[in-house]
């Protein structure tokens, strides 16, 4: 078993005579007197490699020796400097390749640390709760690092990791002062809660090669004002960017399929949201309390919206739902404030208070039959009216406690008002009294792009539409739509 440590203990030098293995607690002869009695160590059977296993010095500026009694120091064992609050700086020799678990855990006086390039392996909790640590540098030999390496280092402002390809779980959690990161461009992974509550972080440290962003990775990162999601990411994890109150504009790219639970909840200053065309699922609480959001359009790829996904998005005045929705879940859009909303034909279920608290809504327009499965208070708001189309079924004088009305506007083409008149083109629209009708126009029916050109309320069952700009086009086509 050459090269294997058989036994570990700290002994008086006189007890070592005749042993088959070497274990020393005192550094004798080879070290200065001031260093003696500070380090416990153990060697391998060849007596050429040593591991530091304990420290009992006074703190201050600590220098770890590179050689002890002829043995090269290659490792620092578990918990060696655990809770040593008097240590201010640590000097690690270039002979060390392994730093084990919790080595500097709770060293509350430690102000800076540099890990040499020789180190290739670092365990968990490296500088956990080193509350005075202001800067840390990892050598190029470190590509990954154990969980919670700098957790709770509340004074840490600058970090350099020349060789890091992965940011481990909880690595910088509760590092509220962290503002400057120097990392390789090819970071592939950002672990769970990696930057949790890093409120001074202005840029999310991932690049084009990042393929995983973990749960709660950037929760409470209030300093983030915008993010660019890498192309290798298909799912945004749960709570990944929750409580990022500085986030103002968000574009979900085409590679994203799933937005996880609470992914962006309480992003209270988010004013602009663009969802990519391949998003199919939006998790529960995904955007709840995004109270500055004004326009919300779900692409037709979306087939699931979780409960409270957009709860209390109280400034949403324009809401467009995906045509693939069949179920509007509990509280999904409660306390949004759209003026008018169109409900897709496939919706059969509306959950508890899903469209509740819409106190500025004027009309909810259903394209299909009346949904048959309703939760408690599915529609709430006054003076909102429910509109339905001819040929659909299940409608009565009220629906979910709100009055209903057939939406039946028609363009009159034979009443003498249709066509070109003085400097304008126009026509009469008739239908149920009080209907609101939006007139849209396009110039190419093969590839139509419809633009609104007027909105009218039918007074006494009719309204006249005119287009003063019709002469600016070689041809123009019109249609009636919901407001």
Higher pLDDT pick, 105 / 208: 105
The confidence score (pLDDT) of residue 17 equals 33
Q: How far is CA 362 from CA 372, 404, 421, in A?
A: 23, 12, 33
| Averaged pLDDT for residues 232-251 | 97
pLDDT-based confidence at 423, cuts 50/70/90?
confident
Q: Is the pLDDT of residue 146 over 50?
A: yes
Mean pLDDT score, 167-177: 97
Count helices and strands (H / E) in the chain. Answer: 0, 39
- The chain-wide mean pLDDT, for the chain, equals 91
Given this model, what pLDDT does residue 210 score? 95
Confidence of residue 380 (pLDDT cuts 50, 70, 90): confident
What pLDDT is recorded for position 382?
A: 78
Angstrom distance (rounded) from CA 20 to CA 69? 17
Question: Once rounded to an integer, what is the mean pLDDT over residues 3-18?
Answer: 34
| Confidence (pLDDT) at 452 | 95
Whether the pLDDT of residue 109 is over 80: the answer is yes
What is the share, in percent, of the chain residues with pLDDT greater than 90? 85
Cβ 424 vs Cβ 438: under 8 Å: no
* pLDDT exceeds 50 at position 115: yes
CA distance 48 to 71: 4
pLDDT at res. 8: 37
The whole-number pLDDT of residue 289 equals: 98
pLDDT for the residue 22 = 36
101 — pLDDT class (breaks 50, 70, 90): very high
Determine the pLDDT at residue 41. Answer: 96
Mean pLDDT to the nearest integer, 267-274: 97
- At residue 373, does pLDDT exceed 90? yes
Q: Mean pLDDT, to the nearest integer, of 273-290?
A: 98
Out of 162-166, 274-278, 282-286, least confident range? 162-166
Residues comprising the chain, all counted? 483
Start-to-end CA distance of the chain, whole Å, equals 83
Mean of the pLDDT values across residues 469-476?
89
pLDDT of residue 395: 98
Show the tokens assigned to 54: 């304990």
The three-class DSSP label of residue 425 is strand
pLDDT in tens, 301-352: 999 999 999 999 999 999 999 999 999 999 999 999 999 999 999 999 999 9
What average pLDDT does range 180-185 have in this prediction? 92
Quick check: 3 pLDDT over 60? no
Contact assessment for residue 84 and residue 52, using Cβ atoms and an 8 Å cutoff: no
Q: Pairing between strand 121-122 and 477-481?
A: unpaired
pLDDT on residue 421: 83
pLDDT of residue 469: 86
pLDDT digit string, tens, across residues 23-68: 333 333 344 444 444 999 999 999 999 999 999 999 999 999 999 9
Contacts of 85 (CB under 8 A, 6+ apart): 59, 106, 107, 108, 109
The pair of structure tokens assigned to 231 is: 């192309």
Q: Can you say whether the dihedral through the CA atoms of 117, 119, 120, 126 is positive or negative? A: negative
Strands 363-366 and 135-138, sheet pairing: unpaired
């Amino acid at each position: 078993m050459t090269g294997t440590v058989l036994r570990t203990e700290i002994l008086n030098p006189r007890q070592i005579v005749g042993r088959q293995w070497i274990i020393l607690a005192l550094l004798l002869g080879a070290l200065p007197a001031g260093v003696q009695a500070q380090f416990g160590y153990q060697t391998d059977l060849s007596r050429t490699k040593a591991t530091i296993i304990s420290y009992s010095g006074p703190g201050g500026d600590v220098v770890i020796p590179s050689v002890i009694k002829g043995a090269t120091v290659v490792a620092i064992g578990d918990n060696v400097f655990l809770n040593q609050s008097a240590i201010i700086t640590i000097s690690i020799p270039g002979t060390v390749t392994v730093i084990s678990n919790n080595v500097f855990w709770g060293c509350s006086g430690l102000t800076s640390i540099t890990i040499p390039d020789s180190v290739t392996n670092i365990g968990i909790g490296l500088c956990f709760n080193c509350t005075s640590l202001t800067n840390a540098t990892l050598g190029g030999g470190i590509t990954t690092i154990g969980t919670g390496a700098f957790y709770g280092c509340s004074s840490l402002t600058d970090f350099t990791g020349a060789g890091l390809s992965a940011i481990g779980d909880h690595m910088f959690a509760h590092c509220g002062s962290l503002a400057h990161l120097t990392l390789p461009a090819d970071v592939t992974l950002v672990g769970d809660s990696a930057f949790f509550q890093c409120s001074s972080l202005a840029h999310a440290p991932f690049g084009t090669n990042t393929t995983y962003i973990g749960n709660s990775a950037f929760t409470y990162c209030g300093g983030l004002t915008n993010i660019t999601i890498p192309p290798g990411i298909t799912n945004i994890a749960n709570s990944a960017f929750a409580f990022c109150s500085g986030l103002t504009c968000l574009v979900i790219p085409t590679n994203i399929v799933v937005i996880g639970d609470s992914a962006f909840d309480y992003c209270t200053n988010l004013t602009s949201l663009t969802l990519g065309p391949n998003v199919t699922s939006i998790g529960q609480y995904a955007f709840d309390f995004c109270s500055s959001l004004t326009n919300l359009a779900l692409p037709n790829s979306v087939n699931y919206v979780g409960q409270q996904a957009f709860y209390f998005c109280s400034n949403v005045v324009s809401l467009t739902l995906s045509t693939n929705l069949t179920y509007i879940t509990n509280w999904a859009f409660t306390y949004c404030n759209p003026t008018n909303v169109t409900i897709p034909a496939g919706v059969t279920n509306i959950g508890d208070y899903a469209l509740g608290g819409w106190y500025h809504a004027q009309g909810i327009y259903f394209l299909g039959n009346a949904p048959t499965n309703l939760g408690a208070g599915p529609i709430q708001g006054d003076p909102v009216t429910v509109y339905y189309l001819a040929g659909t079924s299940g409608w009565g004088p009220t629906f979910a406690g709100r009055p209903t009305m057939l939406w039946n506007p028609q363009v009159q083409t034979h009443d003498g008002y249709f066509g070109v008149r003085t400097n304008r083109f126009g026509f009469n629209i008739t239908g149920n009294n009080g209907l609101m009708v939006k007139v849209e126009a396009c110039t190419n029916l093969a590839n139509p792009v419809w633009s609104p050109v007027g909105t009218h309320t039918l007074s006494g069952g009719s309204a006249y539409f005119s287009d003063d700009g019709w002469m600016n086009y070689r041809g123009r086509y019109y249609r009636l739509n919901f407001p």
